[in-house]
Amino acid sequence: QKVSVEVLDHLEHLALVDFRDAEGVERLQKAIQFADQLHEVNTDGVEPMDSVLEDRCLYLREDDVTEGNCTKELLENAREKVEEYFVAPPGNIPLPKLEERETFLQGS
């Protein structure tokens, strides 16, 4: 059961990472095949486990400000900035549709 081009395209949108070539797609197919082995296990009545520390109370501290004021340090690692802002290209512009994008999937 192969993954459809629609799903592959959807994944590229969600992950913002591309399959690049046939090998990339094949890699996903193999990964799914591998994961399918999970269905051999009977998990009736078994609760999913989020954390091995589920029996303990998570540590919560008081809602007091204990650190901060490090704008300068945090901005140092950004490539594009203006005053105290990180600068991003315009948003609200969706990625081009499959037919218009330069992606390996176009050929599929």
Partner 1 sequence: AALNGGLRSQVSAALKEGRVAPTELCQRCLALIKSTNFLNAYITVAEETALKQAEESEERYRRGQPLGILDGIPIAVKDNFNTAGIETTCASNMLKGYISPYNATVVQKLLDQGAVLLGKTNLDEFAMGSGSTDGVFGPVRNPWSYSKQYKEKSVPKSHSEDEESNWVITGGSSGGSAAAVSSFTCFAALGSDTGGSTRNPAAHCGVVGLKPTYGLISRHGLIPLVNSMDVPGILTRCVDDAAVLLGSLAGHDPKDSTTIQDDFKPFELPNLTDVSKLSIGIPKEYHAPGLSSEILALWSKAADLFKKAGAKVVEVSLPHTRYSIVCYHVLCTAEVASNMARFDGLEYGHRSDMKDSTESMYAATRREGFNDVVRGRILSGNYFLLKQNYEKYFVKAQKVRRLIANDFVKVFRSGVDILLTPTTLSDAAPYTEFIQEDNRTRSAQDDILTQAANMAGLPAINVPTALSERGLPVGLQFIGRSFQEKQLLTVAKWFEKQVQFPMIQLEEVKRHDSDVFHHQKSASFS
Task: Name the residues that contact partner 1, by CB under 8 A.
Answer: 3, 7, 10-12, 14-20, 23-24, 27-28, 30-32, 34-35, 37-41, 43, 46-53, 56, 58-61, 70, 73-74, 76-80, 86, 88-91, 93-95
Could you give the C-alpha distances from 17 to 11, 58, 63, 83, 86, in angstroms and in order?
8, 34, 37, 30, 22
Nearer to partner 1, 41 or 65 (CB): 41
Nearer to partner 1, 100 or 107 (CB): 100
Instruction: State the Cα angle at 21 between 16 and 27, rounded to 5°.
Output: 80
